[in-house]
């Protein structure tokens, strides 16, 4: 099995169909993509790179991403795409971890990477890159076993050293197959890449590539309304992956006009918690038929559970409120269970760790057997998420295990508090973290972004109408914005650090 041949298989059917294009309309067809991928395969071999060696990608979103990816795979190499917002020294640490011989970088990142890298850096804007993509190659792709590593998906590393989840060709094909089975008409149209190709956006793009559909690549960075509207008008209809932060913006009628909205096929949302109140607004603004919710991890790429569009239109046997607060139903090709601390499966309604197994689950962490052993329990991947199954099969995430607050011996799940506070009309965003407390061990503290005036007392009284008194925040911090990663995830580690630097003032902040 070699996924590097995806473009060639499409080119044999429809060579002149658009494969990849930029947001300004510059396009490459499948015949060209296949040829350039083969050229890169030859280039890697000419460098003396052998099957199993690693090539790092330090790239903002760029039209060349897919030709490099396919060429590396044809040569039997393993790609390690990196977050383009990493500092050069952080990128070098990841490259050292996986032992990458070569780094391919986009022009704005290449100089900084080259200044610290202990390996060669190839700039995609250089003459050397142009020469590498222009050669001829008739050599067959390297034959690989299905369990050969293909993609090292590096975790964010917010709580320690980043780990490279090793995704095999088989894992990625299983991801593609499951997505095609579960996503409905999402892969009947083009894909618009607004999210970094180094993560979920690029992974989901493989399904569109296999289907022979166009992919429009927007530049990495701030996504503004004019740029999205322009990109949407390049194709008849496009699907896109959006983290909740972007979905909330897309639901704003001032962000997408009616004409641009009509060109949206599906918005596949995920990558961070989607709160029920935000999802209700998105359904009202965009229509449930345009939305598809996905839940996965780098270790089980994009593939644990999903909320099909038809359920957002009509929940059927499912309770509507439960559905909107859930991550949906298990995906095709995976088994999902809730496990207790003893590793046994828990009955419906009980909260425990979400665990998953199936062909999509990673082979392990690169060169880290201890972390790999810790990540699995009796063949099940331990996600670190706390969840429960409802009576109709819906999976609801209670929280991350590491985010759970244990106060006076009671488990408090920050997400439950966050959902309660988001129902207050004055609250725009909120994140709850645990703060060390001498008496209780920990107490929950809410960081709140307001849309209109409200006091800590207002929010505290509101909380008590929907959650038990012991769960309510013991303090409120009002902030202009919540710290977020480049993928829109709230960085709770930074909020905890802020509390550590400036502890609660009991006389001013608690109720």
How does pLDDT run across 489-511, given as a tens digit for each residue? 788 889 998 998 888 775 334 43
Q: Which of 144, 162, 193 is the last residue of a domain?
A: 144
Question: Does 373 fall in a domain?
Answer: no
Domain count, the chain: 2
Q: What is the rounded average pLDDT of the residues 325-336?
A: 96
How does pLDDT run across 27-82, given as a tens digit for each residue? 999 999 999 999 999 999 999 999 999 999 999 999 999 999 999 999 999 999 99
- What is the C-alpha to C-alpha distance for residues 484 and 85, in angstroms, rounded to an integer? 12
Q: What percent of the chain has pLDDT over 70?
A: 96
Q: Note whether 91 and 113 are within 8 A (CB).
A: yes
Q: What is the rounded average pLDDT of the residues 317-340?
A: 95
Q: Which of 103, 127, 144 is the last residue of a domain?
A: 144
Q: Which of 144, 173, 206 is the last residue of a domain?
A: 144
At residue 199's C-alpha, the angle toward residues 22 and 184, to 5°, is 80
- What is the C-alpha to C-alpha distance for residues 489 and 448, in angstroms, rounded to an integer? 15
Question: Does 210 fall in a domain?
Answer: no
- Closest to 378 (Cα-Cα) out of 348, 349, 351, 339: 339
Question: Does 101 fall in a domain?
Answer: yes
How does pLDDT run across 192-217, given as a tens digit for each residue? 999 889 989 999 999 999 999 999 99
Q: Does 403 have pLDDT greater than 90?
A: no
Quote the domain boundaries for residue 53.
22-144
Q: Which pLDDT score is estimated for 221? A: 63
Confidence of residue 106 (pLDDT cuts 50, 70, 90): very high
Q: Which pLDDT score is estimated for 510? A: 43
Question: Does 185 fall in a domain?
Answer: no
Confidence of residue 487 (pLDDT cuts 50, 70, 90): low
CATH of the domain at 456: 3.30.300.30
Question: Does 389 fall in a domain?
Answer: no
Q: What is the rounded average pLDDT of the residues 147-164?
A: 79
Q: Which pLDDT score is estimated for 125? A: 94
CATH of the domain at 129: 3.40.50.980
- What is the C-alpha to C-alpha distance for residues 300 and 206, in angstroms, rounded to an integer? 15
Question: Does 391 fall in a domain?
Answer: no
Q: Average model confidence (pLDDT) for the chain?
A: 91
Instruction: Quote the pTM value.
Output: 0.84
Question: Does 48 fall in a domain?
Answer: yes
CB under 8 A, 24+ apart: contacts of 463-472: 463/417, 463/420, 463/421, 466/420, 466/423, 467/416, 467/417, 467/420, 470/407, 470/408, 470/410, 470/412, 471/412, 471/416, 471/417, 471/444, 472/417, 472/444, 472/511
| Residue 151 tokens, joined | 């993609």
Question: Does 473 fall in a domain?
Answer: yes
């Amino acid at each position: 099995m070699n996924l590097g041949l995806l473009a060639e298989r499409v080119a044999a059917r429809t060579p002149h169909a658009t494969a990849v294009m930029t947001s300004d309309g510059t396009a490459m067809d499948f015949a060209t993509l296949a040829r350039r991928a083969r050229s890169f395969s030859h280039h890697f071999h000419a460098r003396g790179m052998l099957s199993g060696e690693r090539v790092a990608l330090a790239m903002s979103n760029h039209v060349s991403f897919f030709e490099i990816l396919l060429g590396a795979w044809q040569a039997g190499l393993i790609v390690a795409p990196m977050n383009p917002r990493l500092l050069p020294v952080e990128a070098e640490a990841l490259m050292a971890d996986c032992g990458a011989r070569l780094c391919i970088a986009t022009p704005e990142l290449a100089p900084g990477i080259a200044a610290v890298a202990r390996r060669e850096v190839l700039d995609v804007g250089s003459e050397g890159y142009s020469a590498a993509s222009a050669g001829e190659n008739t050599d067959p792709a390297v034959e690989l076993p299905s369990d050969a590593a293909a993609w090292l998906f590096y975790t964010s590393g917010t709580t320690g050293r980043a780990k490279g989840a090793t995704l095999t060709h088989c894992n990625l094909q299983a991801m593609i197959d499951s997505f095609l089975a579960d996503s409905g008409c999402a892969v009947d149209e083009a894909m618009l890449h607004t999210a970094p190709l180094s993560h979920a956006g690029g992974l989901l793009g493989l399904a569109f590539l296999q289907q022979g559909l166009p992919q429009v690549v927007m530049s990495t960075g701030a996504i503004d309304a004019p740029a999205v509207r322009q990109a949407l008008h390049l194709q008849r209809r496009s699907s896109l992956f959006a983290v909740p932060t972007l979905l909330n913006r897309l639901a704003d009628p001032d962000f997408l006009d009616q004409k641009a909205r009509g060109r949206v096929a599906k918005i596949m949302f995920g990558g961070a918690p989607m709160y029920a109140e935000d999802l209700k607004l998105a359904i009202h603004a965009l229509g449930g038929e345009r939305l598809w919710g996905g839940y996965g991890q780098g270790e089980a790429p994009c593939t644990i559970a999903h909320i099909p569009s038809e359920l957002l239109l009509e929940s059927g046997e499912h309770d509507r409120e439960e559905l909107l607060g859930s991550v949906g139903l298990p995906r095709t090709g995976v088994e999902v269970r809730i496990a207790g601390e003893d590793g046994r499966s828990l009955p419906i309604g009980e909260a425990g760790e979400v665990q998953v197994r199936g062909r999509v689950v990673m082979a392990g962490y690169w060169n880290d057997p201890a972390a790999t052993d810790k990540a699995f329990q009796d063949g099940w991947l331990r996600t670190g998420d706390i969840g429960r199954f409802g009576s109709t099969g819906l999976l609801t995430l209670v929280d991350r295990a590491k985010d759970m607050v244990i106060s006076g011996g009671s488990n408090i799940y920050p997400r439950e508090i966050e959902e309660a506070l988001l129902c207050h009309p004055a609250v725009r965003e909120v994140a709850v973290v645990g703060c060390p407390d001498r008496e209780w061990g920990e107490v929950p503290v809410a960081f709140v972004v307001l849309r209109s005036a409200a006091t800590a007392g207002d929010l505290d009284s509101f909380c008590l109408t929907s959650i038990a008194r012991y769960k309510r925040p013991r303090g409120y911090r009002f902030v202009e914005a919540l710290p977020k990663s480049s993928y829109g995830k709230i960085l709770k580690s930074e909020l905890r650090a802020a509390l550590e630097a400036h502890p609660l003032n009991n006389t001013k902040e608690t109720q």
